[in-house]
């Protein structure tokens, strides 16, 4: 009989746990808490990864490589083809008489 009572007690425990999850008020509350902690975990994880990346990238000196690349790119551009027509347009606007 002792074994039957243990089985009966275990079934009662299982039924109580099932009732907790099948009640609408408990289900809504548990889903709300689950969503809240999931969102907080996502935000915290993102902050940790982003701050680690920012720290790692702040240790590198990108200014020399970026400024060298910009200088090289600017030296390859033929500025006379770009600036001269714009200067001519500005001169034409300045020389027009006001009406």
How many domains in the chain?
1
Which residue in the block uniquely carries the two structure tokens 């975990």?
41
pLDDT of residue 46: 97
Q: Which domain holds residue 83?
A: 2-62+72-95
Q: In this structure, is residue 30 part of a structural domain?
A: yes
Q: Give a yes or no: residue 33 inside a domain.
A: yes
Contacts of 30 (CB under 8 A, 6+ apart): 21
How high is the pLDDT of residue 1? 60
Residue 42 in domain: yes
Task: Return all residues near 26 (Cβ < 8 A) that are at least 6 apart.
Answer: 20
Q: Which residue has the higher pLDDT, 3 or 88?
A: 3
Report yes or no on 67 lying in a domain. Answer: no
When pLDDT is averaged across residues 1-22 and rounded to a whole number, the result is: 84
**84 lies in some domain:** yes
pLDDT at residue 65 in the model: 76
3-state secondary structure at position 99? coil
What is the chain's mean pLDDT, rounded? 82
């Amino acid at each position: 009989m002792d074994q039957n009572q243990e089985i009966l007690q275990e079934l009662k425990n299982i039924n109580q746990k099932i009732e907790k999850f099948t009640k609408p008020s408990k289900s809504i509350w548990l889903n709300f808490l689950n969503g809240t902690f999931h969102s907080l975990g996502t935000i915290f994880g993102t902050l940790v990864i982003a701050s680690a990346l920012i720290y790692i990238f702040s240790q590198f000196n990108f200014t020399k490589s970026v400024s060298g690349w910009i200088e090289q790119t600017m030296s390859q551009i033929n500025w006379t083809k770009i600036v001269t027509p714009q200067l001519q347009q500005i001169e034409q606007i300045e020389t027009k008489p006001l009406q």
